[in-house]
Homo-oligomer: A and B are copies of this chain.
Amino acid sequence: MQTIEELLESKNIRVTAMRLLIYKFLAEKQIAVTLSDIENAFEKADRTTLYRTVKTFEEKDIVHQIDDGTGITKYALCEKGCNCELETDLHLHFHCNNCNETVCLTEHKIPQIKVPDGFVSENVNLVVKGICDKCSGQ
C-alpha cells in the first residue's frame, strides 16, 4: 500500500499541500466532480490552481475526464492500474437525470463496437443516462 505522496512521486508530480488536498477530495468522493465542485470545497484557493492541478493529474493519468453530456467537464480518479488511454480499459459512465450525479461504473467495460469497413476504432465514449440507484429508491 503506497501513500499518496509515493503515488504522486511515482508519476513525476511534485508533492504540494494543494495537490494532496485535491487528491484526497477526489478520493473520498464516490462520484465524478466538476471544477466548480472543487472550487466550492476549496474556497480559499484560486480557480486556476485547482484547474491546473486537475489538468496535471489528468496528464499523468491519475484522473480521467468525463463528458457526460451536461456540457460541463467532470473528473474522477482512475482505478489502480487503469490505463485510460487503452480502449480495452474503458468503463462506462452513468449520469442520473434526477440528481445530476455521474458515476464511474468501473466494473462495466464497454462492449466491442463494430464499425463499418474503412473505419478504425481507437476509442469509445459511452454514457448511459437514467435514474441512479440512490434516486430509484432501490
Interface window among A19-27, A39-47, A51-59, A111-119: A111-119
Q: How far is the CA of A108 from the CA of B121 in the complex (A)?
A: 14
Quick one: which of A114, A118, A136 has the most chain B CB within 10 A?
A118
How many copies the complex holds: the figure is: 2
Q: Which residues of B contact A138 (CB under 8 A)?
A: 117-118
How many positions in chain A have a CB within 8 Å of any CB in the partner chain? 33
Q: Which residues of B contact A129 (CB under 8 A)?
A: 121-125
Q: How far is the CA of A115 from the CA of B130 in the complex (A)?
A: 10
In A91-131, the 8 Å CB interface with B consists of 92, 94, 97, 105, 107-108, 111, 113-131
* A61 interface residue per 8 A CB criterion: no
Q: How far is the CA of A131 from the CA of B121 in the complex (A)?
A: 7
A interface residues (Cβ-Cβ under 8 A, vs B): 67, 69, 71, 92, 94, 97, 105, 107-108, 111, 113-133, 136, 138
